[in-house]
């Protein structure tokens, strides 16, 4: 086959263009810090990168969910803590009222304070996180007590007010973030109502007897222990949330490491390859200058 000057020139230009393309790709990788700037650079690595980014997006979403879980559980713990402190105060007041030395005025003052504590506990039962009531089960837009202080749930079992609120914190793992406190607050309300009835009874009547008030101390202690039991369960949830948070942090680190190994440029290797390619390109230019023969224009000079 006859090799013409045109063929030599075309081959030289094609090879130079390929050399420029290789140097441009290496320069782009060094500038961006990524081996993959378009799917065609490495289709297999590009597909893996999509999977890693999907995993990372999941971790970020689960982390946001975990923040919401922490808000619910921490607020629940704080609210139950307020209830337990209120019940301790009620216990002190009832013990004081059971003393026969108290006159009617003293008991009226005690009654007034207990009534205020009762109203405060109802307010705590309507605690919200954002726009959600935390003690209302899945009926998060409805409070437990209405504006008149009446318990809204008609029954204490089998209703949405007793349903679990679950939030996904990992693939296939959901945490129950709420506390089924309808029965708890109902028992507290009934106990405080009984105490109010004893304190408001006519002097000298059966309900005014100090012995009756003393017997109610056991009821107060019972509901107080129920509150402590609920707080213990909330504490167990907090411990699990902490472990899940650590697990998510480890998962995020692992995914980012895998994504880095898949995509990030090895600068030492790329710079070495870039220098080598530049040397090859310079050699190609030098050889190309010798391959291209002189034209008639050169002879005219």
Owning domain of residue 69: 50-127+167-260
Calpha distance 64→277 (Å, rounded)? 47
Q: Is the pLDDT of residue 207 over 50?
A: no
Which two structure tokens, joined as six digits, stand for 280? 């090859």
Q: Which residue has the tokens 């019940």?
A: 87
> How many distinct structural domains can be found in the chain?
1
**Which pLDDT does position 3 carry in this prediction?**
62
Pairwise pLDDT comparison (200 vs 112), residue with the higher score: 112
The count of other CB atoms within 10 Å of the CB of residue 94 is 22
Q: Report if residue 81 sits inside a domain.
A: yes
Q: For 160-173, write each residue's pLDDT tens digit.
A: 888 899 999 988 89
Q: For 227-252, write each residue's pLDDT tens digit.
A: 999 999 999 999 999 999 999 999 99
**Which pLDDT does position 241 carry in this prediction?**
92
| DSSP-assigned beta bridge partners for residue 170 | 173
Q: Report if residue 173 sits inside a domain.
A: yes
Calpha distance 259→137 (Å, rounded)? 40
Q: Report if residue 93 sits inside a domain.
A: yes
Instruction: Mark 108-132 as b/e (b = at least 16 C-beta within 10 Å).
Output: eebbeebbebbeebbebbbbebeeb
Strand, coil or helix: 264? strand
- What is the overall mean pLDDT for the chain? 84
CA–CA distances in Å: residue 38 to residues 35, 41, 270, 300:
9, 6, 17, 50
The count of other CB atoms within 10 Å of the CB of residue 276 is 11
Which two structure tokens, joined as six digits, stand for 148? 């008149």
**Which pLDDT does position 75 carry in this prediction?**
95
Q: Report if residue 198 sits inside a domain.
A: yes
pLDDT band for position 156 (cuts 50, 70, 90) = very low
Q: Report if residue 141 sits inside a domain.
A: no
Q: Report if residue 82 sits inside a domain.
A: yes
Mean pLDDT of 124-143: 92
Q: Report if residue 205 sits inside a domain.
A: yes
Q: Report if residue 231 sits inside a domain.
A: yes
Mean pLDDT of 135-146: 91
Q: For 252-296, write each residue's pLDDT tens digit.
A: 999 999 988 888 787 887 788 888 888 877 877 777 776 665 555
CATH number at residue 99: 1.20.1330.10
């Amino acid at each position: 086959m006859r090799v013409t000057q045109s063929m030599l020139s075309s081959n030289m230009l094609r090879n130079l263009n390929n050399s420029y393309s290789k140097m441009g790709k290496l320069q782009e990788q060094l500038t961006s810090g990524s081996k993959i700037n378009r799917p065609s650079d490495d289709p297999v690595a590009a597909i893996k990168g999509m999977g890693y980014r999907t995993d990372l997006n999941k971790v970020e979403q689960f982390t946001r969910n975990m923040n919401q879980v922490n808000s619910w559980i921490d607020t629940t713990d704080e609210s139950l803590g307020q209830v337990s402190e209120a019940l301790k105060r009620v216990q002190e007041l009832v013990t004081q009222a059971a003393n026969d030395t108290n006159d009617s005025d003293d008991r009226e003052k005690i009654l007034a304070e207990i009534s205020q504590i009762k109203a405060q506990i109802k307010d705590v039962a309507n605690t919200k996180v954002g726009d959600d009531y935390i003690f209302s089960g899945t009926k998060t837009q409805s409070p437990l007590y209405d504006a008149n202080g009446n318990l809204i749930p008609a029954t204490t079992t089998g209703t949405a007010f007793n349903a679990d609120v679950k939030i996904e914190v990992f693939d296939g793992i959901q945490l129950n973030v709420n506390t089924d406190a309808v029965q708890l607050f109902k028992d507290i309300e009934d106990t405080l109502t009984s105490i109010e009835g004893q304190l408001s009874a006519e002097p000298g009547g059966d309900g005014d007897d100090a012995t009756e008030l003393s017997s109610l101390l056991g009821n107060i202690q019972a509901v107080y222990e129920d509150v402590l039991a609920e707080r213990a369960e909330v504490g167990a949830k907090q411990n699990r949330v902490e472990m899940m948070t650590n697990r998510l942090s480890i998962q995020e680190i692992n995914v980012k490491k895998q994504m880095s190994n898949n995509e990030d440029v090895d600068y030492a290797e790329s710079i070495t390859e870039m220098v080598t390619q530049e040397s090859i390109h310079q050699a190609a230019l030098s050889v190309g200058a010798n391959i291209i023969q002189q034209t008639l224009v050169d002879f005219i000079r």
